[in-house]
A and B are shown apart, each in its own frame.
Chain A
Amino acid sequence: MKSKSMRLAMSGLALSCFTAFGAHAAEPKELFFYNWTDYYPVDLLAKFEKETGIKVTMDGYDSNETLLAKLQAGGAAYDVIVPSQSIMQTLIKQDLLMEIDAPSLSNFQYVKGPFRDPSFDPGRKFSAPYLWGTTGFSYDSARVPGGKLDDSWKEFFEPRKELQGQLAALDTSSSVINAASHYLNVDECSENPQDAKRILELLQKQKPFLKMYSSDNTVDRMASGEVIMMQNWNGSTARATLQKSTIKYVYPREGLAMFQDNFAVPKSAPHPGNAKIFIDWMMKPENAAAVSNAIAYANGVQSDSLLDPKWKVMDAINMPEEYASRLRPEKECSNKARELQDRIWSKLKG
């Protein structure tokens, strides 16, 4: 087994060869960035262009599956993509990613411990950490009887009488089924049809109490008071709390999904050199902090000191330590499990 320094040296050599080749090939100074919509502050791209001279074009997608479909269809030539940890293995196994060897990049030193060697990408060969978040639920404490809800999924799946008809769920099958699985203490990637049956029954019982299923407009929906409680991401909740301070975020004790988003480079990227420059640049604490401050999600880089004070007071972003045990990183489910989930979802909406 090579020592770490040997590995670094080898990567450094490879990288320098690569950049030399890159310099010969003279990559045009542009970058195609394919990211989740509303998941990156546009002014930061301007800063990147000023510092490196590379012009970035950013397009948006709304789900990992859209990203996957576009990559599988082969045609779309993006340089940097932002897959969640739950499809990393699929991308790697299908040979869709370029090896970038993130530890060899100069700013990798700033990456936080837990993010340096994740199980979904050992050794960070293909990816670098971006943002991470959780999917719990948020509620408006001013409109809830007693002003506080128990931190349990029970409040969401079996709502109190006053809240019935005033809740919303995300319109993403994996998020809803995940939450239900955690509440029922069932494996989120269960291949057991009996588990699926229980989940379906729970969701069907909840459906009449929901105002809508929607993954759009999550910030305004809470802030405008259209619903009193909704399944929500922590970042959206934090931004909603800025508009209405009584909005609170819940980390349910039965467990809540945690997603980790990463930078990666598709194999067919037209500007891989620029892609690595961008990814390296994003691991600088000040840039990572700029994103977190704008979109209200925590990042995987040591930038806590640069976090804006208005976010520091919210436990939506600044997760209290005692909740760490409640996090359940999203897993990648097998085809069989996904088929079950698809059937649950179709029957639920059917």
Chain B
Amino acid sequence: MSVSSTSPALNRALLLSPVVLTLLALIAIPLGIMGYISLLPRNTYGGVDWQAQWQLQSYVQLFFQEGFDGELELNWVYAQALLRSVLQAGGTTVLCFLFGFPVALWMSSLTPRRRNLMVLLITIPFWTNLLIRNYAWLIILREHGWVAQSLNALLPSAGGITLLYNDFAVSVGLVYSFLPFMILPIYSTLEKLDWRLVEAAYDLGANRWHALRRIILPLSMPGVIAGALLVFVPSLGAFITPAILGGGKTLMIGNLIQQQFGTARNWPLGSSLSFLLLAILLVSLVLYALYSRRAAKTINRGATA
């Protein structure tokens, strides 16, 4: 089809070379350096002892540490931080789904012009600065703010509800940041949905709820899963929002990593923690890839019906 003398493969390689170079330089090599550092012992003054022998100390430290009483104990701290980050990410994903799905549904029921407007409206908050967003929530949720005051006025028996520096505030902040990531993929899947199937369901006597549960939801699964991935993965590494809105009372894996390169001056441990996080991400991505391949086959079968 191409009339050029060079092969399409060569063309492609040439076109891809800048991006591949950038990827190599900015991601592959830095990660490689980080991997190298994770295998070295730490320097007395912090940083890394480049001259020393390779060792797996930093990976061992992830799981085992000398307890205060001297014995080698299973290191729960990092596992707990990891678990907490996973739970936080999972919770955020679920909440984003619960709030995002109705919005995506409504959006797909609007006129095309209004639909586009909604897409725009949903995207704009995402373009605000992360820090600024969190500080705005700080102002809104604080004890003397009008939200807290009115809530306490309405429910005096609850004995002073605090909206800030707890898991509630962190959830509010995280869901705020990631909601668009859930809404947009679901919406785009719903747009391509074959609504004739739904129409058929109504004709057969199903009510709205049944149609939703049996037809719309299953068919929109690819969008839901894509959205879930787009929310789960970044919120796993989120640590600024929990630090600001959570009152700094808990440590997420992101905090731990930052700590190792900061106050703890333990670069090898920071590197190994980063790889642990990346490993979890990789697992999620692989699961997603497997799922989407299976789902694609199912959808193809369904769409041709």
Indicate if the CB atoms of A69 and B262 lie closer than 8 Å.
yes
Task: Flag if A346 contacts B251 (CB, 8 Å).
Answer: yes
Bound CA span A214–B261, Å: 19
B247: Cβ under 8 A from any A Cβ? yes
Residue of A nearest to B245 (CB): A212
Digit string of B52-96 for contact with A (CB within 8 Å is 1, else 0)? 000000000000011111100000111011000000000000000
- Given contacts A94-B45, A196-B68, A350-B77, are A214 and B262 in contact (CB under 8 A)? no
B263 x A65 contact (CB < 8 A): yes
Flag B239-257 by CB within 8 Å of A: 1 or 0 each. 0000100011111000110
Q: Which residues on A sit within 8 Å (CB–CB) of B144?
A: 225-226
CA distance A322 to B142 in the complex (A): 40
Chain B residue nearest to A227 (CB atoms) is B143
Which of under 10, 10 to 19, 20 to 34, or 35 or more describes the interface residues of B? Answer: 35 or more
Q: Which of A173, A174, A342 has the most CB of B within 10 A?
A: A342
Partner of B249, one of A197, A207, A343: A207
The answer to whether A93 and B263 have CB atoms under 8 Å apart is: no
| B47–A72 touching, CB < 8 Å | yes
* Interface contact tally, CB-CB below 8 A: 86
Are B247 and A214 in contact (CB-based, < 8 A)? yes
Q: Tell me, rounded to whole Å, the shortest Cβ–Cβ distance linking B254 to chain A.
A: 13
Cβ of A244 under 8 Å from chain B = no
Say yes or no: B248 contacts A213, CB within 8 Å.
Answer: yes
Chain A residues, CB < 8 A from B247: 210-214
What 16 additional pairs, Cβ within 8 angstroms, besides A94-B45, A193-B69, A335-B44? Answer: A63-B262, A65-B263, A69-B262, A69-B265, A90-B46, A193-B70, A197-B69, A212-B248, A214-B247, A225-B144, A335-B42, A342-B263, A346-B77, A346-B256, A349-B255, A350-B80
B81 touches A350 (CB 8 A): yes
In whole angstroms, how far apart are the Cα atoms of A289 and B80 in the complex?
Answer: 49
Within A42-83, the residues touching B (CB, 8 Å) are 63, 65-66, 68-69, 72
3 pairs of A and B residues whose beta carbons are closest in the complex: A212-B247, A213-B248, A349-B251
When distances are taken between beta carbons in the complex, the residues of chain B under 8 Å from A214 are 247-248
Shortest CB distance A190–B (Å): 12
Contact A200 B68 (CB under 8 A): yes
A171 near B: Cβ within 8 Å?
A: yes
* Chain B residues whose CB sits within 8 angstroms of the CB of A200 once the complex forms: 68
Task: Let me know if A346 and B262 touch, CB within 8 A.
Answer: no
Q: How far is the CA of A65 from the CA of B46 in the complex (A)?
A: 9
Would you call A338 an interface residue if the criterion is a C-beta within 8 Å of the partner chain's C-beta atoms? Answer: yes
Q: A194 near B: Cβ within 8 Å?
A: yes
Task: Give A349's nearest chain B residue, CB to CB.
Answer: B251
**A4 CB–B CB distance under 8 Å:** no
Expressed in whole angstroms, the Cα–Cα distance for A194 and B68 within the complex equals 6
CB distance from A349 to the nearest CB of B (A): 4
Q: How far is the CA of A72 from the CA of B46 in the complex (A)?
A: 9
A contacts with B, residue count (CB < 8 A):
36
Complex Cα spacing A29 to B155, Å? 64
Q: Does A347 touch B at the CB level, under 8 Å?
A: yes
In the complex, residue of chain A having the shortest beta-carbon distance to the beta carbon of B243: A171
**Given A338-B264, A346-B256: A213 in contact with B249 (beta carbons within 8 A):** yes
Contacts of A342 in B (CB 8 A): 259, 263-264, 266
Cβ–Cβ < 8 Å partners of A171 in chain B = 243, 248
Contact of B165 with A by CB under 8 A:
yes
For residue A98, give the distance in angstroms from its CB to the closest CB of chain B.
Answer: 18
* CB pairs A–B below 8 angstroms (19 shown): A63-B263, A65-B46, A65-B265, A69-B262, A193-B67, A193-B68, A197-B68, A211-B247, A212-B248, A335-B42, A342-B266, A343-B77, A346-B251, A346-B256, A347-B77, A349-B249, A349-B250, A349-B255, A350-B76
Chain B 257-291 interface 0/1 with A at a Cβ cutoff of 8 Å (1 = within): 00101111110000000000000000000000000
Asked if A69 and B248 make an inter-chain contact with CB atoms under 8 angstroms apart, the answer reads no
> Which residues of A lie under 8 Å from residue B255 when comparing CB positions?
349
Residues of A within 8 A of B142 (CB): 226
Residues 280-328 of A contacting B (Cβ, < 8 Å): none
